[in-house]
């Protein structure tokens, strides 16, 4: 078990607030026409990303999905880099070539957000294989949704990780909806990730994905096993998204009262409650939240002021030499 | 097929695959192999014989029948400091992991704004002529050509297998490496020590003033044989082996057409969407005035590959079809 002091917890609460505020800003900027394309907001999922990162070491790898803003920020991407990316600015995290669905902070080990459901699970397995080949003690985390558990790549990834006993953490963010459809109506088991794990010989836990401390503790246990050479773990973190699937989804399919019940267990409410239990004052909590809000306010202003995407970037970065030449 | 072997033609295309990989594994410890039956079994085509014995289980990894996991894991390893060489047993099976070739591997560098590189090789046994039927005989190099962000090599000789393999494994970009099943038993000169064939350099294998034959992999010996037969009729064909599709050496094609003013492309993949279409479109655009006749494409027919030898011959390029195409241009 990782000890979590009140100071640690306050830092986690601040990072989760930073993510929540960034998501709200992204939502508002979309409504004002400054963000185009699509966004898949992670408000409600913050504790999974932040709790996971807090239990890992620098250099550990993360692979995320198109709903990946929270993972990027948890791994050190700044709100301004992210918002600038959404707003197609040259200062964007991916130079405005990726967008909301592909946030990446490679220098921090956050090796991409992938928008083909389930595709990144085998890639995360490969990074874990590489860590073993290079004899480092790095672990590799694949974050994915409940919907990804029904695609072939999920099953191929779990099997290979198991037979090669690789240091991978498969972290499912089960928000109970596969896009617009309840996951229970399209899945043959009750816990879409955790119930599949035993068939691959992988231990699994179902955890409270809205409690950052519960996530942190479970990830610490799984990472410990991985670093000890005991192979992969599946963690199924139950959580809930506050917005719809994507920008165009008002989430009308959700039964009355469901969102409200989940909002009572909002990860920020849960962490604030834990902070108070640990003796942190309301003033200190508010100060942390205000700091996060100020960072995001500044990020919005900074991103708005940044220049639009550099047109020459359309023809860079295809190849490792920086260029795009395909012929002589 | 060109069957004029000499005393110097002592190594097979098949064993040159393992030789090319082994040379790179000796010089670079970050090179690792993975695939189905590639370890102690030496590969179903015996193209990895000796690697497991020389380099051991930490560098030569047998996998489950799990193409997405093979290519996905290769990608993750390539992004984190390794140089994986992944085998997909038959190129038809690339369809099982096509997401990685179409959406993941070629795009991740670009869409992250250059934050990552993917130095990997996907090797695969390609092509027909062996009677394996519709799901084990296709020439699918044109599939890879549809996706910007993949480099594509397809050697025709044992020495080129070694030289192009060196370039492929040393490349910081992802490479799809097509090994032609019909060439595995063919023999040629061994590659000299340190042999490296740079990508994007076509080879002029035969000079001629009357017509340019552009070929790749299996169609290279076929074009050379056709050229011998045409020479007996007084038609001198120049034969170009492209060796790579990306980068595509269209400069070499244009230079040759400048000399010959006639062009026949010989490609095993289907006419519909085949790589010859890209080659001739460049020639039409940039070399229109060099031409004295229409261009011809001798390509696979637009049907699934049939099983029976006689039927297969009907639908893939043959020497007769190349000779006929050239004759039709000579009288134009």
Searching chain A, which residue's CA lies closest to the CA of residue B62?
Answer: A164
Contacts of residue A219, Cβ cutoff 8 Å, sequence gap at least 6: A51, A52, A55, A56, A141, A169, A171, A235
Mean pLDDT of all residues belonging to chain B: 97
Active site (annotated) includes residue B136: yes
B69–A316: do the CB atoms touch at under 8 Å?
Answer: no
> B203-330: what fold?
Rossmann fold (3.40.50)
| Chain segment B187-212, per-residue pLDDT in tens | 999 999 999 999 999 999 999 999 99
pLDDT for res B1: 43
Give a yes or no: residue A155 inside a domain. yes
pLDDT for res A248: 87
> Given 3.40.50.970, 1.20.1560.10, 3.90.45.10, 3.30.470.10, which CATH number is that of B11-188?
3.40.50.970
| Chain segment A103-160, per-residue pLDDT in tens | 999 999 999 999 999 999 999 999 999 999 999 999 999 999 999 999 999 999 999 9
Query: Which residues in chain A have Cβ-Cβ distances shorter than 8 Å to B84?
Result: 126
The predicted model gives B3-19 an average pLDDT of 87
Cα–Cα dist B48/B177, whole Å? 14
Q: How far is A314 from chain B (nearest CA, A)?
A: 9
Cα–Cα dist B97/B68, whole Å? 5
Residues A202 and A161 sit within 8 Å (Cβ to Cβ): yes
- Annotated catalytic residue within B14, B83, B136, B297: B136
The total of structural domains in chain A comes to 1
β-sheet bridge partners, residue B240:
B204, B214
Angle subtended at Cα B105 by Cα A43 and Cα B217, rounded to the nearest 5 degrees: 165
pLDDT band at B7; cut points 50, 70, 90? confident
Tell me which residues of chain A, numbers 108 to 167, contact chain B at a CB-CB cutoff of 8 Å.
Answer: 111-112, 114, 116, 119-131, 133-134, 140, 152-153, 156-157, 159-160, 163-164
At residue B158, φ and ψ (nearest 5 deg) are -55, -45
Give a yes or no: residue A150 inside a domain. yes
Residues B219 and B242 sit within 8 Å (Cβ to Cβ): no
Give a yes or no: residue A52 inside a domain. yes
pLDDT for res A1: 54
Domains B11-188 and B203-330 share a fold: yes
Give a yes or no: residue A16 inside a domain. yes
Give a yes or no: residue A312 inside a domain. no
Cα–Cα dist B19/B286, whole Å? 39
Cα–Cα dist A10/B241, whole Å? 65
- Contact with chain B for residue A314, Cβ under 8 A: no
For residue A281, the tally of other CB atoms under 10 A from its CB is 10
The predicted model gives B44-53 an average pLDDT of 98
pLDDT band at B4; cut points 50, 70, 90? low
pLDDT for res B47: 98
Cα–Cα dist B67/B169, whole Å? 20
B72–A119: do the CB atoms touch at under 8 Å?
Answer: yes
Cα–Cα dist A129/B162, whole Å? 27
What share of chain B in percent tops pLDDT 70? 98
Query: Does residue A205 have a pLDDT over 70?
Result: yes
Residues A197 and A234 sit within 8 Å (Cβ to Cβ): yes
A327–B103: do the CB atoms touch at under 8 Å?
Answer: no
Residues B168 and B121 sit within 8 Å (Cβ to Cβ): yes
Residues A180 and A19 sit within 8 Å (Cβ to Cβ): no
Give a yes or no: residue A204 inside a domain. yes
Cα–Cα dist A292/A296, whole Å? 6
CATH number (domain holding residue A141):
3.40.50.970
| Chain segment B239-251, per-residue pLDDT in tens | 999 999 999 999 9
Q: CA dihedral defined by A299, A301, A307, A310, rounded to 10 degrees?
A: 30
**What residues make up the domain containing A92?**
6-306
| Chain segment A254-292, per-residue pLDDT in tens | 999 999 999 999 999 999 999 999 999 999 999 999 999
Pick the more confident residue, B7 or A241: A241
pLDDT band at B9; cut points 50, 70, 90? confident
* N residues, chain A: 328
Three-state DSSP class for residue A85: helix
pLDDT for res B5: 67
Mean pLDDT of all residues belonging to chain A: 97
Cα–Cα dist B317/B304, whole Å? 14
| Chain segment A32-47, per-residue pLDDT in tens | 999 999 999 999 999 9
pLDDT for res B330: 81
Residue found by looking up tokens 């558990």 in the block: A149
Give a yes or no: residue A119 inside a domain. yes
Cα–Cα dist B83/B31, whole Å? 5
Tell me which residues of chain A, numbers 263 to 282, contact chain B at a CB-CB cutoff of 8 Å.
Answer: none
Q: What is the largest CA-CA distance in chain A?
A: 68
Sorted by where each begins, the domain ranges of chain B are 11-188, 203-330
pLDDT for res B2: 47
Tell me which residues of chain B, numbers 64 to 103, contact chain A at a CB-CB cutoff of 8 Å.
Answer: 64, 66, 68-69, 71-82, 84, 99-100, 103
A198 by Cβ neighbours in 10 Å (0-12 / 13-18 / 19+) ranks as exposed
Residues B313 and B300 sit within 8 Å (Cβ to Cβ): no
């Amino acid at each position: 078990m990782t000890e979590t002091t009140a100071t640690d917890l306050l830092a986690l609460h601040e990072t989760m607030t930073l993510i929540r505020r960034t998501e709200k800003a992204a939502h508002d900027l979309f409504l004002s026409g400054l963000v185009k394309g699509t966004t898949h907001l992670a408000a409600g999922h913050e504790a999974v990303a932040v709790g996971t990162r807090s239990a890992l070491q620098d250099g550990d790898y993360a692979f995320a999905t198109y709903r990946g803003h929270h993972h990027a920020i948890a791994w050190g991407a700044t709100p301004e880099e992210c918002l600038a990316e959404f707003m197609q600015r040259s200062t964007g995290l991916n130079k405005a070539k990726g967008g909301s669905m592909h946030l990446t902070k490679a220098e921090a080990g956050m090796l991409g957000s992938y928008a083909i459901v389930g595709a990144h699970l085998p890639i995360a397995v490969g990074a874990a294989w590489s860590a073993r080949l290079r004899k480092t003690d790095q672990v590799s985390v694949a974050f994915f949704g409940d919907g990804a558990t029904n695609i072939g790549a999920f099953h191929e990834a779990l099997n290979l990780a198991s037979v090669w006993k690789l240091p991978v953490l498969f972290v499912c963010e089960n928000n109970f909806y596969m896009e617009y459809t309840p996951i229970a109506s399209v899945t043959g088991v009750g816990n879409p990730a955790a119930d599949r794990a035993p068939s691959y010989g992988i231990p699994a836990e179902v955890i409270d994905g809205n409690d950052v401390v519960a996530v942190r503790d479970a990830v610490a246990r799984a990472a410990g096993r991985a670093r000890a050479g005991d192979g992969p773990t599946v963690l199924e973190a139950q959580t809930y998204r506050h917005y719809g699937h994507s920008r165009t989804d008002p989430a009308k399919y959700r039964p009355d009262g469901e969102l409200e019940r989940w909002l009572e267990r909002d990860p920020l409410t849960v962490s604030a409650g834990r902070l108070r239990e640990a003796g942190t004052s309301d003033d200190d909590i508010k100060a942390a939240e205000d700091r996060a809000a100020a960072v995001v306010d500044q990020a919005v202003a900074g991103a708005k002021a940044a220049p639009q995407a550099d047109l020459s970037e359309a023809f860079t970065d295809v190849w490792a030499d920086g260029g795009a030449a395909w012929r002589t | 097929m060109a069957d004029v072997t000499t005393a110097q033609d002592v190594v097979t295309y098949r064993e040159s695959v393992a030789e090319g990989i082994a040379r790179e594994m000796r010089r670079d410890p970050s090179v690792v192999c993975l695939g189905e039956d590639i370890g102690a079994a030496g590969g179903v085509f015996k193209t990895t014989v000796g690697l497991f014995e020389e380099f051991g289980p930490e560098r030569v990894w047998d996998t489950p029948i799990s193409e997405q996991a093979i290519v996905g894991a290769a990608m993750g390893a390539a992004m984190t400091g390794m140089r994986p060489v992944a085998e997909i047993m038959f190129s038809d099976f690339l369809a099982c992991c096509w997401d990685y070739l179409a959406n993941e591997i070629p795009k991740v560098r670009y869409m992250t704004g250059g934050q990552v590189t993917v130095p990997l090789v996907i090797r695969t046994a390609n092509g027909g002529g062996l009677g394996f039927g519709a799901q084990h005989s296709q020439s699918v190099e044109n599939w890879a050509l549809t996706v910007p962000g993949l480099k594509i090599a397809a050697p025709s000789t044992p020495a080129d297998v070694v030289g192009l393999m060196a370039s492929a494994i040393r490349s910081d970009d992802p490479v799809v490496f097509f090994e032609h099943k019909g060439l595995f038993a063919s023999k040629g000169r061994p590659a000299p020590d340190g042999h490296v064939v740079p990508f994007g350099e076509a080879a002029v294998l035969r000079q001629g003033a009357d017509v340019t034959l552009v070929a790749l992999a299996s169609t290279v010996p076929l074009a050379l044989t056709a050229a011998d037969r045409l020479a007996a009729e007084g038609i001198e064909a120049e034969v170009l082996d492209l060796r790579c599709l990306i980068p595509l050496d269209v400069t070499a094609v244009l230079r040759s057409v400048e000399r010959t003013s006639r062009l026949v492309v010989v490609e095993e993949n289907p006419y519909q969407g085949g790589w010859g279409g890209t080659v001739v479109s460049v020639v039409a655009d940039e070399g229109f005035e060099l031409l004295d006749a229409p261009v011809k494409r001798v390509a696979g027919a637009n049907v699934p590959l049939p099983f029976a030898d006689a039927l297969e011959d009907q639908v893939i390029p043959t020497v007769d079809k190349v000779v006929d195409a050239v004759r039709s241009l000579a009288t134009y």
